[in-house]
Structure 1
């Protein structure tokens, strides 16, 4: 009978973490390398935000700053400029875009998924094709139109190109196809209108898909720099991401402040994702249940 109190019989930390097969070991190593590749830019960003400008791209690279300037950099970013206004502008724009996208995408996706009408296949193909069109293609005519109606430097101008999301239509359409047709038919027999079916049956079941798309939409438009850089002309309408451009000029760039600003801009999205990650993963998984 083995003595369980002997040192040889007590499992060590290595015994707990060592892989049970060579294949699992290789998988673990590859996952670790991939995770490091994904996380390292954020580590670089935080490390650079704690350094003076001349140390950020110094030849002797070190993650630990030789001269700590974190307090000065973050204080300048948060208090030496109206950062709360920039944050509020980003929240207004991202929330407005998300709400309008949901109001337009959910009924359209429901129609493509559950209603039978002539041309639905062509319409869905058009939605798929529209996903491939980048904002850069339509930016010039949109800009000219906003100039002619005098709506530059407004919240509407920042939201206008994104009020209809073909990606949202596609995502919700895939999710709605997995909803049982028998329940919808029973609701119609009971006298439900199509709007009531969406509000009372589809939406409660679509919470995971809505959460997943909300993360996509919020992150994409929170980090958007291209379109606000075109239509925003005053500091009062600057978004949090656009405010990073204040530390760059044609002749000089304060990299310490730029990375500190990038860290402050990124933090709310990371925190939001940590709270919504389960709904996000669930929504992405369920949208592929039925093609």
Structure 2
């Protein structure tokens, strides 16, 4: 029997890789444009928009001017406080809820899980108006509480972790109960460590979503000192750098870099978490 011709397979592989590279280029094009603009002097941005920057060292000057134009450090600090605090609170709520739905028996369990799934179908914009009215009546607008409170209960986190916890062997849990472990000890010492990939996957989703969120901060934040990073970029238009896109793009790089770093550090756990929860 004659050996199979490898050319068709090689051609398909080259074609598929070419398509993927082209799509990757389209995705990365805005980031490349942002970086090139941040490395240009004001006179180069419009006079030579498609050329390479003549002095990449201008990036440092644009970063310095970005910090001088707006309180960029404050924006980054606000983003860190909101995303880190929110992630810890979301996990503090989601972990016990997911464990109860996965491993405990109680009345109304199925109805509660159905409610969690139904909540996943509700756009986040739907309950924002009543939440805003409540925050306004409590005089809690323009605060960390207003930025964090509406998102503490995450149906997505509960659903994701519940799927992961269900795969944990019941025999180990029963043995731990016989050894005198409390449910809290079983959850924290046995079940949660086994779900680190799923927790990492949710952490990437949560940090990315709330670090980049502009919709809710634009509604509840009215002062520059409480602005989150995406909202902080809007203050450029009110200052002397309203038409100076170099510092604006330098500020955008500073805002995008932490999210990209988090994803790169958690990439393996992120993919593993999605794969493991998707198979169960």
Q: TM-score range by the shorter chain?
A: 0.7 to 0.9
Alignment match, 1:277: 267
Alignment match, 1:287: 277
CA pair 140-36 structure 1, distance change in 2 beyond 3 A:
same
Alignment match, 1:165: 154
Deviation at 1:176, TM superposition (A): 0.9
Task: Find the aligned partners of 2:25 and 2:8 in 1 and give their Cα distance.
Answer: 19
**Is the partner of 1:136 in helix, strand or coil?**
coil
Alignment match, 1:14: none
Task: Find the aligned partners of 2:100 and 2:51 in 1 and give their Cα distance.
Answer: 53
Task: Find the aligned partners of 2:249 and 2:211 in 1 and give their Cα distance.
Answer: 16
Task: Find the aligned partners of 1:141 and 1:23 in 2 and give their Cα distance.
Answer: 54
Deviation at 1:171, TM superposition (A): 0.8
Extract unaligned runs of 5+ from structure 1: 1-17
* TM-score, normalised with respect to structure 2: 0.88
Task: Find the aligned partners of 1:19 and 1:254 in 2 and give their Cα distance.
Answer: 52
* TM-score, normalised with respect to structure 1: 0.84
Paired residues for 1:25-64 under 5 Å: 25-51=14-40, 56=45, 58=46, 61-62=49-50, 64=52
Task: Find the aligned partners of 1:85 and 1:93 in 2 and give their Cα distance.
Answer: 12
Query: Are 1:267 and 2:257 counterparts?
Result: yes
Match of 2:118 among 117, 120, 129: 129
Task: Find the aligned partners of 1:167 and 1:285 in 2 and give their Cα distance.
Answer: 16
**What whole-Å deviation, never above 9, does each CA across 1:190-236 have from its counterpart, x for those lacking one?**
22221111111011111111111111111111111111111112222
Deviation at 1:253, TM superposition (A): 4.7
Alignment match, 1:209: 198
Q: Is the 8 A contact 1:248 1:254 kept in 2?
A: no
Q: Is the 8 A contact 2:72 2:251 kept in 1?
A: no
Q: Alpha carbon RMSD of aligned pairs, Å?
A: 2.4
**What whole-Å deviation, never above 9, does each CA across 1:45-81 have from its counterpart, x for those lacking one?**
212223356765x597415246875344221113443
CA pair 141-55 structure 1, distance change in 2 beyond 3 A:
farther
Task: Find the aligned partners of 2:51 and 2:258 in 1 and give their Cα distance.
Answer: 23
Task: Find the aligned partners of 2:8 and 2:123 in 1 and give their Cα distance.
Answer: 44
| Worse-superposed segment, 133-142 or 170-179 | 133-142
Match of 1:95 among 77, 84, 90: 84
CA pair 188-66 structure 1, distance change in 2 beyond 3 A:
same
Extract unaligned runs of 5+ from structure 2: 1-6
Q: Is the 8 A contact 2:70 2:236 kept in 1?
A: no
Q: Is the 8 A contact 1:153 1:232 kept in 2?
A: yes
Match of 2:223 among 229, 234, 243: 234
Q: Is the 8 A contact 2:35 2:250 kept in 1?
A: yes
Q: Is the 8 A contact 1:175 1:288 kept in 2?
A: no
CA pair 152-19 structure 1, distance change in 2 beyond 3 A:
farther
Alignment match, 1:86: 75
Alignment match, 2:210: 221
Task: Find the aligned partners of 2:101 and 2:95 in 1 and give their Cα distance.
Answer: 10
